[in-house]
Each structure stands twice: as structure tokens, then as C-alpha cells.
Amino acid sequence: MKIEIYTASQDIPQLVDGSPLHSKRMFCLLESHTEARPIMIAAFDNDNKELGHILVVKYREWRLLPPGFHIWYTIHGQGVYSSECNDKEHLFKLLIDKLFDLFDFNHTLIDIRNLDDARFAYDTLSDKGFFPRRDRRMYISLHSKEPEKRLTRAYKANIRKAQKRGVTFREVNNTQEVLVAIKMMRRYYASKIGRHLPPTKYLLHLLADDEGDKKTARLFAVYHKEKMIGCSICLYDKERVFLAYNCGLRKTHPLLYPGIMAVWAAITDAHKRGIPHFEFLEPQGHKLRTGYLNFILNFGCKQVTTLRWRHFKWNIINKIFKAIYV
């Protein structure tokens, strides 16, 4: 077995198809991200057949506490593995070992989140000095029940009121409308602690990525009298849609429920396309405010407990947090 590291998209061979968060297409899109550097780590057998891979995103940012440039690595999920891989956890361990070889002297941490199974690689990550924190995944099952039937009575009424008052929503592809939506999102996220919107260039590349009907992302906009009052951006997988970003001008248009309609537009589109699961990405990685949690639950979400693993470069900090959380 050999493990290869790729830092340029032109060097990456054809990989096993799986989650869009670990795809070559996502790697290419991240290359346009000014604050991120994608790294693909892939394992091959002796016949040069791929066994699995993970996409690691390296971020570099100036922060005041402690002062200086902070470097951290993020992994969303457990990666993608071929049918010939008999031990995913062992292969994941080898990929993580390779990642440790990449660490810069000034790296701050490595963050692994959004694992499908909370027990996945528990011993491996614990032995490596990672410490776990409880996290939650929020998703809606669209295959077992109509999304309208999962709504609370209050949200059903709010959606009906908004529609009677002339609120509409649609997918947006026009560059000018996309830029208006991104500008509105940027103003919205500017006041949100712990929530960050990527650079405009990256979002434009993400939304423009299209291979026929297989789009990586879609943007939905909410309108009232031709004025945009809300929007949402979703990532698309074969079996799942991820709500990545959403906003609504609820303070200036409280009776039109733009935040609810922005999420509802994304949910209804996923249901029409026959995608069985709709998942909220934003709640992961930070503590949910009670108001936002209730907002999500009113759409009929299910909560699944999972673990988020972190590893700081200072072992003493890892030991302290491990003593607190384990």
C-alpha cells in the first residue's frame, strides 16, 4: 500500500465517487478560495487501485489571541472508501498519520467534524491525542414523509401567510442576482459570531460548477415585489442535500418570514429531486443558540448526537481538554 498527497488538482487521478465534501471537484473549487488550501490524501493498493481518500482543508488567518498567523486543518466527515477497502478505520488511521507529517511548526489545530458514526475511529483518534466533544447533526428525512407534514403548525401558517402576501422563491443562476444574494449574506453574517461566509470568488466558482444536472451547489432566493429578502445556498450529493448558508431580512420584513421561506425553498427543491435527506451544515462546529435550534426543529428535524474531534499542537492543552470532556 502507498499513500499519496496531492496539493494541485491537475495531479489528482480519478478518485472513488462519494461525498461532494471529499471530491476532486470540491478540491478544484477550493483552489479559488483565498483563505484555504486543499490537500487530498489518497491510499492505493499494490495494483495502484484506490482504496480511499480524504480531503483536508488548510486555513491560515491572522488572529489577535494569541497574536500571529494561525494555521489549522479541517476534515468534514470520514472520507470516501472503495468497496475493496475491508477496514475503513485502519485506512483512516493511515491517512491521519500522513496528515500529521504535513503539520507546520506554527499549526494551531486539526479539526474533524460531521462524522456519520460517533464511534468511528474512536480509539485511533484518542490514541493520537485528539479529544472529543459532543456535537449534533440535524437532518430531515424527505423519503418517509412529505416535508409539509413535518412542519409545525406555526410554520405551516407562516408559510401560507407569506405566500398570500406575495412572497415567492426560485433558484437563481444569473450572475447579477447571485452577487446581490452574496452581498446580502455578507451583511447578515458580519454580525454573527462563529459564523463565516467564504470569499465571493469562491462562492461564484461553487455555484457555477455544473456538469449537466449534477450541480455542486444551488442558490435559492426569496422575493417580495421583485425585491430579494432572503436566500440560501445548498450543496448536493446523491443521497443528501446540505444547507450550507442561509439568511433572511426578518427585521425589516418580519411579516413575510424571509428566513423560513429561504430554508423552505431549499427543502422543497430537494424533495422534488427525490433526494432522501436534507441536512443542516451550519449547526455543526459551534454551540447552537436556543432560538436558532428552535428555528431548525420547526421544520421537523431529527437530532443525532455525534463527536467532533480536535487536536492542538500543544499536548498539555489536549490533555486538559481530554480530562474535561472524556
- Looking at the domain 139-305, which fold is it? Aminopeptidase (3.40.630)
What is residue 286's predicted lDDT score, i.e. its pLDDT? 45
Q: What is the percent of the chain where pLDDT is above 70?
A: 92
At 205, list the grid cell: 466558482
- 19 near 114, Cβ under 8 Å? no
- Asked, colleague to colleague, whether 2-128 and 139-305 share their fold, the answer is yes
- Min mean pLDDT across 8-22, 255-269, 272-286 is at 272-286
Mean pLDDT for all residues in the chain:
87
Q: Quick one: average pLDDT of 176-203?
A: 86
For residues 312, 33, 215, 285, the Cα torsion angle rounded to the nearest 10 degrees is: 30
Residue 281 pLDDT > 70, yes or no?
yes
pLDDT digits (tens, 9 = 90+) for 112-146: 988 888 889 899 899 988 999 888 888 999 988 89
pLDDT: which is higher, 221 or 73: 221
pLDDT digits (tens, 9 = 90+) for 102-111: 765 567 888 9
pLDDT: which is higher, 149 or 199: 149
Q: pTM here?
A: 0.85
**Class for domain 2-128, per CATH?**
alpha beta
User: Cα dist. 45→2, 3, 10, 250 in Å?
Assistant: 6, 9, 21, 54
pLDDT digits (tens, 9 = 90+) for 42-57: 999 988 899 999 999 9
What is residue 36's predicted lDDT score, i.e. its pLDDT? 85
Which range in 164-178, 199-213, 308-322 is most confidently predicted, on average pLDDT?
Answer: 164-178
Domains of the chain by residue range:
2-128, 139-305
Residue 253 pLDDT > 90, yes or no?
yes
What is residue 103's predicted lDDT score, i.e. its pLDDT? 66
